[in-house]
Chains A and B, each alone.
Chain A
């Protein structure tokens, strides 16, 4: 065709469904993430505990097999809410470290290099962009938290009797929803910090500061003012409080009620979402 005959024609090929356009972001991000050796090593380490827990569950139900070789009691330990609560806590902690490494590098390079207009000039909404970035973290964390958690639950359910199932069926929901809540909260926190702090190294450090120093400030208020009000500053405590109730673990939690803990977690997340959406725009005003 002659050059002068070439003019604009709109794309006539098949279109990606609007709801699934955000998938482009995690697809490219995952490809780049595992080029970092440290991240790969840490991710592999994250599977050690689930593997160990699976062995414990297996041997716990097959003690007669072990008894042939070594003298052991009838049961290694009681597999119940405390076991799965400990599993969720450990895996979530590892997930937090993983997020501190992955999260800050997700949005800050786009902002630093003024690349957001390049995203938004394509048929991708702001929500789609944020959901896409969150999916990068959420999928990786799901693989180390609720997915192995549910697999362990399934393993135990298949090995235990009906009575165990009747008493502990709720744990499947507890594992799933507690992990999901944690993933959502730390993902938005990581993305908000990544959006506001352009240096990803500093943003990663700030994630630790928010978690550790928040807890420390809370304890300081408790010590100095002799009041539990300081607990409001401690995101980790409030999250553990919500988890305890999901796993039906009874403990003395002072004067902070469950409703207050839920409110604190939601408030933290809401602030992070607000900060995030304020920064993620298709334009930037340079003064």
Chain B
């Protein structure tokens, strides 16, 4: 490669990195990436603080099990609840407002907890907090990662960053500086793309690493050591990080190209989101023309689909006939390469009309 091109590429990348990381519009990306970390942190904190309290409650609730607690339904009377679960470990509040007597009862089996809200001796609401175990939490992490983090957080993050690379410059009326500079249009596209990829990869991969760390915080150190040292802990972590980077690459090239052709990013974003969501029910041939198919094939922990899972979630979870690892990586690289090529070619004929934007 021509050394001048390399230095130009680096110059464009340097300029764009600053924008991608510190632009006011990037604020949303940090929020998206941080949200799951905060949820995991809240859960870890809650479990750690409530462990001893639940144990003491369970001592007063002999015979109470999670299955029994799940049977409490709205409309049941106090007597029916007492008959099913016995006397509560704690009556949290008893108040009389507007002639209605309200009581909150608390039950626990040591691991899970049930709060029952009574009004006039009738169940008006329940809040069941299930127990967590290391194995179950590993599956929960994988489910959250596949169904929510990849499909929504990384997806919308890439929509913002990559469509912004060209569309944002149009809105700021600053794209002409690049187009007037003596450098190839492909270099501009390449530099912008690499900056976007680096920014999204760093932000979302850091988020995954933090989530993984926090997930393991509230378990016994021996269990975590065993998982990381003798189990598949490191392999899982590296796989999640790798898949995140590949997701940024895949979605990044798709949205970079969309940003070159379409003025309104809503249309490609919605269309691609729908396409990715129905991937599980598409014919085998069509399934390969999506990013999520390859990403799901590479995730280290398979999420089992229960019979009780609602159909929309079951559709998201379905990954019939996943691609082998090497084919998934190659397939994703091929799709991304093709997209980047289209974007670079179309940049050659790029013309701007700031008047049409707003």
Contacts and interface: CB of A to CB of B under 8 A. Distances in A.
B171 A221 contact: no
Given A100-B266, A255-B126, A255-B128, A213 B42 contact: no
Contact of B358 (A97, A100, A200, A219): A200
A223 B146 CA distance: 13
B167 interface: yes
Interface stretch (B31-39, B196-204, B292-300, B334-342): B31-39
B43 interface: yes
Interface of B is mostly: helix
Contact of A208 (B36, B43, B130, B266): B266
A255 B267 CA distance: 36
Given A101-B266, A219-B148, A201 B171 contact: yes
Contacts of B125: 255-257, 260
A208 B270 contact: yes
A200 B267 CA distance: 14
B188 interface: no
A158 to B, nearest CB: 35
B149 to A, nearest CB: 8
B235 interface: no
B264 A220 contact: no
Contacts, number: 94
A226 interface: yes
Interface in B238-279: 263-267, 269-270, 273
A204 interface: yes
B206 to A, nearest CB: 18
B21 interface: no
B84 to A, nearest CB: 17
Contacts of B265: 201, 204-205
Nearest to B136: A226
B160 interface: yes
B28 interface: yes
A213 B153 contact: yes
Interface string A225-261: 1111100000000000000000000000001110010
Given A202-B25, A226-B130, A109 B358 contact: yes
B127 interface: yes
B249 to A, nearest CB: 21
A223 B140 contact: yes
Interface string B172-199: 0000000000000000000000000000
Nearest to B124: A257
B282 interface: no
Interface residues of A, number: 34
A224 to B, nearest CB: 5
Interface in B123-159: 124-132, 140, 143-144, 147-148, 151-153, 156, 159
A201 B143 CA distance: 31
B264 A204 contact: yes
Interface string A202-213: 101110110011
Interface string B73-109: 0100000000000000000000000000000000000
A17 interface: no
A157 interface: no
Interface of A: 38, 97, 100-101, 105, 109, 112, 199-202, 204-206, 208-209, 212-213, 216-217, 219-221, 223-229, 255-257, 260
25 contacts: A38-B267, A97-B270, A112-B358, A204-B264, A205-B156, A205-B160, A205-B265, A206-B28, A209-B28, A212-B273, A213-B32, A216-B148, A216-B152, A217-B148, A219-B147, A220-B39, A224-B144, A226-B131, A226-B132, A227-B127, A227-B129, A255-B127, A256-B125, A257-B124, A260-B125
